[in-house]
Structure 1
Amino acid sequence: MVGRQHTAAVVADVFDRMAWRDTYAQSAGLRELAEELLTHHAHAADLLADTFLAAYQLTGPRVREPADMAPSRLVNHHIVNALVETPEFTGLRRETAGDPYAAALAVLAQAPALRELLDRSRDPGDDAARTTGAAGASELAEAPAAGGTAGAPPPTATPRPQTSQAPASAAPASQAAGGAARTAAEAVPGARAAARTAVARAAEAVRGEATLMRAWGVTPGELERMPFDRRARLAERLRTGRLARWAELIGRFREMADAERARKLESATGELVGVTLGDDLSRVIPSELAHLGLPELRAVFAVRYAAGELMLYDSRTEQSSGRGAVIACVDTSHSMYEAGPGGVTREAWAKACALALLDQARHERRDFVGILFSAADKLRVFRFPADRPADPAEVLDFAESFLGGGTSYQAPLTAAAGLLADEFDETARARGDIVLLTDDECAVTAEWRRDWDDARRRLGFRLFGLAVGAPDAAGSGSVLEALCDDLRSVEDLTDVHAAAGLFRSI
């Protein structure tokens, strides 16, 4: 008896088909690709669904046997089989399995190869089916649960009694299916080489986008919760924005800051405030350890250790959650657009450092404020409270904004001190940290300096300075040196470790 004639090469369950329908409905790119291909290839809709499902399924794709396929879909089967058999396909699935967005991105990245392979297999007789294929574009998002377009077998037909001629007809049908499979392979010359190139390109595209998201601090958890269209817009903005080419620098800054945080935690012993009882041998006071030198007192030491009654130094570690905000004041005057050695602009280095400070503040459950400044009348403030996730779109607005113009220290520092004063009045949090990233030197008035010193004494904040690409701004007797508690000069803009000490101090 002849088996079912499936139109989907990849076996899929109802949940896989649902993922495909939802993703297709949300992805304008997939819909446009389907409409384009269906004007020339009647069954391209099924091929796109198969390509998506092969990348998306968690357990790995199971491709049907050629004999189980409808003859009209054998070319699709041959193309899909060539894709999943490439050595690169396993690497692609590490990025796409279970992630409908990544699987859709993989399909779009393979579009040129799919288009080329379908063109190679084009049959003049296929033109007669174009009308049906074009209609399939509008119905693609509503692939029936029991149909074959999304990989499900059609409804089981009512069985009929076998006749004596059935065995005789089965052999020719089987031979026809085998012949059609060979014809499909012959109709797509070079399919395996093209498939390998396509899968490698798709894997590179998916990994590249994932790396871009990580560099900008967008976590996998955030991506999973993000609607498809919003994720697509974010990815496009990250690829084409003003700081897109500095993603690698931003990523290195964040990795450096993570390492410095870990080092700071390892060496944080806290302030000694007295003596307590416990069993932590690293904090045992010397008089207790002296008991180990007397054989008759060793048993007493062991008993007290077991009971947790050894005398220990008591320490109090500073709690960052009780401290004020971290505020990054980033100079965006015209001179910050200049590039240093390695082609890195001063703005890119300063913004990358500020984004790493945002991570630092969130890790310590402190508010973060980004202040962009240039001339006295040019100021933009971006607030990122610790009690809610940082919106990636707002982070990008902060990173990509550039004001131009001259440089004034008074405006950003006054705004920063005012924010810390408001925070202190509302929550009693003091001891905030302000980081001033600039490449210029400018004067401040004596009256402003008196007000600044009064605010510092009242609120207990610290001012860190980074002279970015301009060592003269950090020279002896400079305004920066007079204002800052800690001033560092950054000459090599390719070196993220120039700011390492800052992340150990904040």
Structure 2
Amino acid sequence: MSEVTSLLNSLKPELHIHAIASDRMDMLTFKDLKNKSSNLQEVETDGEQALKTFSPLMQDIWSGLYKYTPELRAPEEMTPSHALNRELVERMTQTQQYKELRLHTRLDDLHSAMATVTMSSNLAEKLKTELKGQADNANKMKDLEESISSESAKAMAYRDMALQCKENERAGLEEKAAASEKQAQSLKKQIPIMAHLIRKSREAAANKMRCAVRNAADEALEQADELSNTMDGWGIGQGNVRNLPIEDKIGLAKLLQTEKLKKMAQLLGRLRRLAIHKQKTKLIQARDEIHSVGRGDDISRLLPQELGLLRHPLAKKDFQKRFLEHDLAQYDLKGTERTGKGPIIVCVDNSGSMEGDREIWSKAVALALLEIATMQKRHYACIHFGSTVEALEITEIAPNDPDTFRKAVGIASYFLGGGTDFEKPLSASCELIKKSQYNKADIVFITDGAAIISPEFEKEFNSIKKQKEFRVTTVLINASQDENTEKFSDEIVEVSELIDAEAGQVFGI
């Protein structure tokens, strides 16, 4: 019995299957992450076909990326079957890509999960090809360890049975226990021999392993940089996604990585900055608008004729006297920014002709206007419209809406590809404006087509517009204005090139 216990202790207690020191909380966190991520589950299943110890390897990759100060265990602390895992992880931590990747992933559940999927998937492929020999050796060692464990367990079971059986059966059970113990001891002697051969094989494949790990880290870093840039373009900080479940974070990240939304993010980043600049400039200009002429001593606002007095010695004394008395003629300024404004509503044409660059540009403009609504603390709505028979897709976002980011991604992702009808989205806009306690809403209507506006609709629409004091700015993409757009528009902006400057014409609302 003592020999069996000694054998089991030599195999397990002081040895580990994880190369990065992980406590129970680390294990539970990653397990929960896997349960919620189909991507991680798929990669794990795929990787285990090549390497039986792939699941602990994934834990090591995640721990090395996520933990604040990951600690790599010494080679002698590892079970022999997991020595390959440790070597791969050690080589991972030695790459420059890993050090840069950690800037994204440390204590960041989204980036660490995404990078774990990418690196694990990449390594799973290498373990089936370039590193297949090393994976096969690790699998053989794993089989050997399991055989030793099995024989040891059998020996212990026979010993327990022998203590409880009849006298005439005891000898046979003790004989079986001894045979299992002997087999376990025999198998155990193979471990150092096999470990030596495997170590030599890994040393011979050192360059292959180095390249495999570097390529995996390189791909993960490229993805992390791309995701960070995309999120920056969208104006997404940790606060926008911190409270989302991890499965939702990963889903949104995958959506943001689609080609259409990556292009949109690049444009949106520039348009957001342009919109913010326009608004700040507008506020400065509003503060400096001339309202009337008054009296005072502000040199920067004096009338030209007062400044002209400084050129004449006698008049200069009068100037100085009135300056001290705050009695010089100067411009009075009055800010023109209105408080309590109605919603910003963006109507986006979703007809088939808008697909491609026009769709990306129009939605980037729509989302930049969301930035303005946020700055002005105004309600916002985006209305995707098509033909008369197609339902409108309406997204409303209130100031400080906790779901703003998810809704914005929904606005960017939706596309109808139908026909064109103007009256339905304009009617919906009026209904939204009626719900607001404030007047002076702004409608931005973006289209590349034309549609009939009936006299009855024109009359009713303009009546509501007068009552609620809202404005309509129509953006025509590669289309000429006609009598129909003139019927409901206060301003028409004709856009021939989908560039930032042309979008800037809309951001003065």
**Scaled by the length of structure 1, what TM-score is found?**
0.73
Partner of 2:440, secondary structure, is coil
Deviation at 1:220, TM superposition (A): 2.4
Partners of 1:462 and 1:128 in 2: how far apart? 75
Deviation at 1:256, TM superposition (A): 3.0
Structure 1 residues 401 and 107, CA, compared in 2 at 3 Å: closer, same or farther? Answer: closer
Structure 1 residues 278 and 33, CA, compared in 2 at 3 Å: closer, same or farther? Answer: farther
More deviation, 273-282/442-451: 273-282
Tell me if the contact between 2:350 and 2:415 (Cα under 8 Å) persists in the aligned partners: yes
Tell me if the contact between 1:371 and 1:412 (Cα under 8 Å) persists in the aligned partners: yes
Tell me if the contact between 1:329 and 1:412 (Cα under 8 Å) persists in the aligned partners: yes
2:411 to 386, 398, 402: 398
Partners of 2:145 and 2:78 in 1: how far apart? 20
1:328 to 336, 346, 349: 346
Partners of 1:396 and 1:29 in 2: how far apart? 21
More deviation, 377-386/456-465: 377-386
Partners of 2:240 and 2:194 in 1: how far apart? 51
- 1:49-64 alignment runs, 5 A limit: 49-59=59-69, 61-64=70-73
Partner of 2:15, secondary structure, is coil
Q: 1:7: which partner in 2?
A: 17
Q: 2:278: which partner in 1?
A: 260
Tell me if the contact between 1:113 and 1:198 (Cα under 8 Å) persists in the aligned partners: yes
Deviation at 1:129, TM superposition (A): 5.5
Partners of 2:42 and 2:445 in 1: how far apart? 48
Matched, 1:125 2:140: yes
Tell me if the contact between 2:296 and 2:323 (Cα under 8 Å) persists in the aligned partners: no
Partners of 1:490 and 1:347 in 2: how far apart? 14
Deviation at 1:419, TM superposition (A): 2.1
Tell me if the contact between 2:458 and 2:487 (Cα under 8 Å) persists in the aligned partners: no
- 1:212-361 alignment runs, 5 A limit: 212-240=230-258, 246-269=264-287, 317-319=335-337, 322-337=340-355, 344=357, 346-361=358-373
Percent sequence identity over aligned pairs: 27
Higher helix share: 2
Partners of 1:319 and 1:227 in 2: how far apart? 40
String of CA shifts for 1:438-493, please: whole Å, max 9, x gaps.
Answer: 112334233333333322222211111111122x2x3xx64324542222111112
- 1:32-43 alignment runs, 5 A limit: 32-43=42-53
Deviation at 1:319, TM superposition (A): 4.9
Q: 2:501: which partner in 1?
A: 497
Partners of 1:256 and 1:455 in 2: how far apart? 32
The amino acid across from 2:503 in the alignment is A
Q: 1:108: which partner in 2?
A: 117
Q: 1:364: which partner in 2?
A: 376
Partners of 1:14 and 1:281 in 2: how far apart? 71
Partners of 1:285 and 1:84 in 2: how far apart? 69
Partner of 2:505, secondary structure, is helix
Deviation at 1:385, TM superposition (A): 1.9
Q: 1:77: which partner in 2?
A: 86
Partners of 2:365 and 2:212 in 1: how far apart? 43
Q: 1:488: which partner in 2?
A: 493
Structure 1 residues 77 and 278, CA, compared in 2 at 3 Å: closer, same or farther? Answer: farther
The amino acid across from 2:496 in the alignment is E
String of CA shifts for 1:98-119, please: whole Å, max 9, x gaps.
Answer: 1122112112111244222452
Partners of 1:319 and 1:418 in 2: how far apart? 25
1:383 to 367, 388, 396: 396
Partners of 2:273 and 2:66 in 1: how far apart? 30
Tell me if the contact between 1:66 and 1:178 (Cα under 8 Å) persists in the aligned partners: no
Deviation at 1:322, TM superposition (A): 0.8
Structure 1 residues 481 and 365, CA, compared in 2 at 3 Å: closer, same or farther? Answer: same
Structure 1 residues 18 and 261, CA, compared in 2 at 3 Å: closer, same or farther? Answer: farther
Deviation at 1:203, TM superposition (A): 0.7
Tell me if the contact between 1:334 and 1:405 (Cα under 8 Å) persists in the aligned partners: yes
Partner of 1:502, secondary structure, is coil
Task: Give aligned pairs, total.
Answer: 441
Structure 1 residues 325 and 127, CA, compared in 2 at 3 Å: closer, same or farther? Answer: same
Partners of 2:132 and 2:53 in 1: how far apart? 12
Deviation at 1:374, TM superposition (A): 2.8
Q: 2:432: which partner in 1?
A: 419
Partners of 1:65 and 1:10 in 2: how far apart? 10
Tell me if the contact between 2:366 and 2:382 (Cα under 8 Å) persists in the aligned partners: yes
Structure 1 residues 406 and 20, CA, compared in 2 at 3 Å: closer, same or farther? Answer: closer
The amino acid across from 1:201 in the alignment is E
The amino acid across from 2:502 in the alignment is A
Partners of 2:461 and 2:373 in 1: how far apart? 23
Partner of 2:242, secondary structure, is helix
Q: 1:136: which partner in 2?
A: none
Q: Relative contact order, CA 8 A, sep 6+: which one is greater?
A: 1
Deviation at 1:431, TM superposition (A): 0.7
Rg bigger for which structure? 2
More deviation, 43-52/247-256: 247-256
Structure 1 residues 185 and 411, CA, compared in 2 at 3 Å: closer, same or farther? Answer: same
**Scaled by the length of structure 2, what TM-score is found?**
0.73
- Unaligned stretches of 5+ in structure 1? 133-172, 306-310
Partner of 1:225, secondary structure, is coil
Q: 1:47: which partner in 2?
A: 57
- Unaligned stretches of 5+ in structure 2? 1-9, 148-190
Partners of 1:21 and 1:405 in 2: how far apart? 45
Partners of 1:233 and 1:247 in 2: how far apart? 17
Tell me if the contact between 1:23 and 1:101 (Cα under 8 Å) persists in the aligned partners: no
The amino acid across from 2:111 in the alignment is A
What root-mean-square deviation, in Å, do the aligned CA atoms of Structure 1 and Structure 2 show? 4.2
- 1:426-437 alignment runs, 5 A limit: 427=437, 429-437=438-446
